[in-house]
Protein backbone atom coordinates (compact mmCIF):
# COMPACT_ATOMS: atom_id res chain seq x y z
CA UNK A 1 0.00 0.00 0.00
CA UNK A 2 1.31 3.43 -0.95
CA UNK A 3 2.12 5.81 1.89
CA UNK A 4 0.04 9.01 2.04
CA UNK A 5 1.97 12.10 0.92
CA UNK A 6 0.28 15.24 2.25
CA UNK A 7 2.22 17.78 0.20
CA UNK A 8 1.60 15.78 -2.96
CA UNK A 9 -2.14 15.63 -2.27
CA UNK A 10 -2.47 19.27 -1.20
CA UNK A 11 -0.50 20.60 -4.16
CA UNK A 12 -2.61 18.54 -6.58
CA UNK A 13 -5.85 19.76 -5.02
CA UNK A 14 -4.52 23.33 -5.16
CA UNK A 15 -3.62 22.91 -8.85
CA UNK A 16 -7.21 21.86 -9.55
CA UNK A 17 -8.46 25.01 -7.82
CA UNK A 18 -6.06 27.11 -9.88
CA UNK A 19 -7.18 25.53 -13.17
CA UNK A 20 -10.82 26.16 -12.28
CA UNK A 21 -10.00 29.74 -11.26
CA UNK A 22 -8.20 30.25 -14.56
CA UNK A 23 -11.28 29.04 -16.43
CA UNK A 24 -13.49 31.38 -14.38
CA UNK A 25 -11.21 34.37 -14.97
CA UNK A 26 -11.04 33.74 -18.71
CA UNK A 27 -14.69 32.94 -19.27
CA UNK A 28 -16.39 35.01 -16.58
CA UNK A 29 -14.10 38.02 -16.23
CA UNK A 30 -12.44 38.05 -19.67
CA UNK A 31 -9.03 38.32 -18.01
CA UNK A 32 -6.25 36.49 -19.85
CA UNK A 33 -2.84 37.89 -18.90
CA UNK A 34 -2.70 37.76 -15.11
CA UNK A 35 -4.67 34.53 -15.00
CA UNK A 36 -2.15 32.83 -17.32
CA UNK A 37 0.66 33.78 -14.94
CA UNK A 38 -1.34 32.36 -12.04
CA UNK A 39 -2.05 29.16 -13.97
CA UNK A 40 1.63 28.61 -14.73
CA UNK A 41 2.99 29.08 -11.22
CA UNK A 42 0.00 27.61 -9.38
CA UNK A 43 0.19 24.32 -11.26
CA UNK A 44 3.98 24.26 -11.25
CA UNK A 45 4.03 23.76 -7.47
CA UNK A 46 2.71 20.22 -7.70
CA UNK A 47 4.64 19.40 -10.87
CA UNK A 48 7.92 20.22 -9.14
CA UNK A 49 6.89 18.24 -6.06
CA UNK A 50 6.32 15.24 -8.34
CA UNK A 51 9.75 15.78 -9.86
CA UNK A 52 11.31 15.98 -6.39
CA UNK A 53 9.82 12.61 -5.46
CA UNK A 54 11.67 11.10 -8.40
CA UNK A 55 14.84 13.04 -7.63
CA UNK A 56 18.15 11.37 -8.39
CA UNK A 57 19.81 12.61 -5.21
CA UNK A 58 19.11 14.57 -2.05
CA UNK A 59 20.40 17.72 -3.76
CA UNK A 60 18.09 17.12 -6.71
CA UNK A 61 15.17 16.58 -4.30
CA UNK A 62 15.99 19.80 -2.44
CA UNK A 63 16.34 21.74 -5.68
CA UNK A 64 12.87 20.74 -6.88
CA UNK A 65 11.29 21.38 -3.47
CA UNK A 66 12.92 24.82 -3.46
CA UNK A 67 11.47 25.55 -6.89
CA UNK A 68 8.03 24.48 -5.61
CA UNK A 69 8.42 26.88 -2.70
CA UNK A 70 9.31 29.76 -5.03
CA UNK A 71 6.37 28.95 -7.30
CA UNK A 72 4.05 28.98 -4.28
CA UNK A 73 5.39 32.42 -3.29
CA UNK A 74 4.82 33.67 -6.84
CA UNK A 75 1.28 32.27 -6.76
CA UNK A 76 0.59 34.33 -3.63
CA UNK A 77 1.74 37.43 -5.49
CA UNK A 78 -0.64 36.84 -8.42
CA UNK A 79 -3.56 36.09 -6.10
CA UNK A 80 -2.95 39.37 -4.26
CA UNK A 81 -2.68 41.27 -7.53
CA UNK A 82 -5.90 39.73 -8.87
CA UNK A 83 -7.58 40.70 -5.62
CA UNK A 84 -6.22 44.26 -5.67
CA UNK A 85 -7.48 44.71 -9.23
CA UNK A 86 -10.91 43.38 -8.22
CA UNK A 87 -10.87 40.20 -10.28
CA UNK A 88 -11.23 38.19 -7.05
CA UNK A 89 -13.53 38.95 -4.16
CA UNK A 90 -12.43 38.86 -0.52
CA UNK A 91 -13.77 35.36 0.11
CA UNK A 92 -11.99 33.89 -2.92
CA UNK A 93 -8.79 35.69 -2.04
CA UNK A 94 -8.75 34.59 1.59
CA UNK A 95 -9.42 30.96 0.71
CA UNK A 96 -6.76 30.82 -2.01
CA UNK A 97 -4.18 32.63 0.12
CA UNK A 98 -4.81 30.28 3.03
CA UNK A 99 -4.12 27.27 0.82
CA UNK A 100 -1.07 28.82 -0.87
CA UNK A 101 0.43 29.92 2.45
CA UNK A 102 -0.11 26.45 3.89
CA UNK A 103 1.80 24.98 0.95
CA UNK A 104 4.62 27.48 1.57
CA UNK A 105 4.83 26.50 5.23
CA UNK A 106 4.95 22.78 4.46
CA UNK A 107 7.50 23.25 1.67
CA UNK A 108 9.60 25.51 3.90
CA UNK A 109 9.67 22.83 6.61
CA UNK A 110 10.63 20.17 4.06
CA UNK A 111 13.51 22.38 2.89
CA UNK A 112 14.76 22.95 6.44
CA UNK A 113 14.49 19.28 7.37
CA UNK A 114 16.25 18.15 4.21
CA UNK A 115 19.07 20.67 4.64
CA UNK A 116 19.64 19.76 8.30
CA UNK A 117 19.56 16.03 7.63
CA UNK A 118 21.42 15.56 4.41
CA UNK A 119 23.33 18.53 3.09
Give residue-wise pLDDT tens across range 99-111.
Answer: 999 999 999 999 9
Q: What is the pLDDT of residue 114?
A: 92
Give residue-wise pLDDT tens across range 16-28.
Answer: 999 999 999 999 9
Instruction: State the Cα–Cα distance between residues 86 and 88, nearest whole angstrom.
Output: 5
pTM of the model: 0.94
For residues 11 and 103, the answer to whether their CB atoms sit within 8 Å is yes
Amino acid sequence: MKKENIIQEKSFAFAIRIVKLYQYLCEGKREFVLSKQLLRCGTSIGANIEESIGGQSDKDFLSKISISYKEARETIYWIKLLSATEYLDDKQTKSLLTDAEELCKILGKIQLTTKSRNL
